[in-house]
Amino acid sequence: MSNRERILQTARRLAIEAGSVPSLDAVAAASGVSKGGLMHHFRSRAALLDGIAAEAIEAMDEALAAAAERGNVTETWLRLSMSREDADLYRALLVSFTDSGSTTQVLLRRSAEATQRWEALIAEEVGDPVAAAAIRLLGDGMVMNSVTGDRLPPLESVLEWLKPRTGRE
């Protein structure tokens, strides 16, 4: 594993544990690299935040691309939307967005572009762009419920409810 990957994994873990993206000093110490070594890859906390968000988007892209090959994008989208670890990461990123200035706009644009890709994969699977938008929004709502600690319905119940609405039996 490269230093950059180790730094990102450590920053992600610390963000989940702490509820926000930690300082560069904390990430460097926990990663076992010098602050200069960390700053070689991430010149600022905002750059580290960008790296964590980009890695999360890339992981979702990969998961949904693999799901498209298997023909279960909707189920994968909803399953990932219910992930406790991902909800904790999203909560940490949201807290960190408030103090990152112009980086926030770049991250929000990148996230919107990714959301369009993911919704297109769902639409391709279910054959209906309106149903795809509803499924994507359902997943987004499930993420927010996870972030706030609200109860989520069982995934199997949600998938059963969706079957007649998407024409997928």
What residue segments make up the domains of the chain, in order of their start? Answer: 49-166
Structure pTM?
0.82
Q: Per the structure block, which two tokens stand in for 57?
A: 């988007």
pLDDT digits (tens, 9 = 90+) for 62-72: 999 999 999 99
pLDDT of 168 strictly over 70: no
**Alpha helices, H only, 19-154:** 24-31, 35-41, 45-70, 73-81, 84-97, 103-126, 129-148
Average pLDDT over all residues of the chain: 87
Confidence of residue 30 (pLDDT cuts 50, 70, 90): very high
In the chain, the N- to C-terminal Cα span, in Å, equals 42
pLDDT digits (tens, 9 = 90+) for 75-134: 999 999 888 777 777 777 776 666 555 666 777 788 899 999 999 999 999 999 999 999
What share of the chain in percent tops pLDDT 90?
Answer: 50
- Predicted confidence at residue 99, as pLDDT, reads 54
